[in-house]
Amino acid sequence: MTVVTVELRNVAGTAAAVGWAGAHTIVVDRPEGRAGGLGLGFNGAQLLALTIGGCFCNDLRYVAEAMGLEITALAVTVNVELGGEPLLATAATMTVDCSLADGSDPEPVIDRARASCMVSNSLRRGVPVAILSAGAPG
């Protein structure tokens, strides 16, 4: 089993957080004026949409390479629908526009990426999430 770990810490003087994995960082915040947010970074819904789309973009590249194909243009749009109390992501729709160097139909590449995409498949299957307090007696 592989484990991926990211870290997040507050950004001094703000209510935002910076997250990192290895040498890569991202700022997480709420919109300006919402719970101390300054709009310095992405909110959770935006990060969820980026996660869905970003993973699929990567998987498209993996699949194309395995099929001996080259992607020359790629555009992905992800819409995440939110609703309820507490607020939940209730649906996500991803639209993929992909062109291959040889001019062939990209649907087989998209279909294989759909079948192998870790994030969308995990969400569809309902990945369990545990939230533990670091200060809780153990």
Q: Other CB atoms closer than 10 Å to residue 116's CB: what's the count?
A: 15
Q: Other CB atoms closer than 10 Å to residue 80's CB: what's the count?
A: 20
Strand ranges for the chain from DSSP E:
7-10, 17-21, 24-28, 71-83, 88-100
- Quick: pLDDT tens for 33-65: 999 999 999 999 999 999 999 999 999 999 999
- Quick: pLDDT tens for 63-92: 999 999 999 999 999 999 999 999 999 999
Please tell me the distance from the alpha carbon of residue 6 to that of residue 59, in angstroms, as a whole number. Answer: 21
Instruction: Identify residue 12 by its one-letter amino acid code.
Output: A
- Quick: pLDDT tens for 105-117: 999 999 999 999 9
Residue 96, both tokens? 């993929």
Q: Which of 72, 138, 76, 131 is nearest to 102 (CA)?
A: 72
Phi, psi at 74, each rounded to 5° = -145, 125
Q: Tell me the pLDDT band of 20, cut-offs 50, 70 and 90.
A: very high
pLDDT value at 138 more than 60:
no
Query: Residue 86: is the preceding peptide bond cis (ω within 30°)?
Result: yes
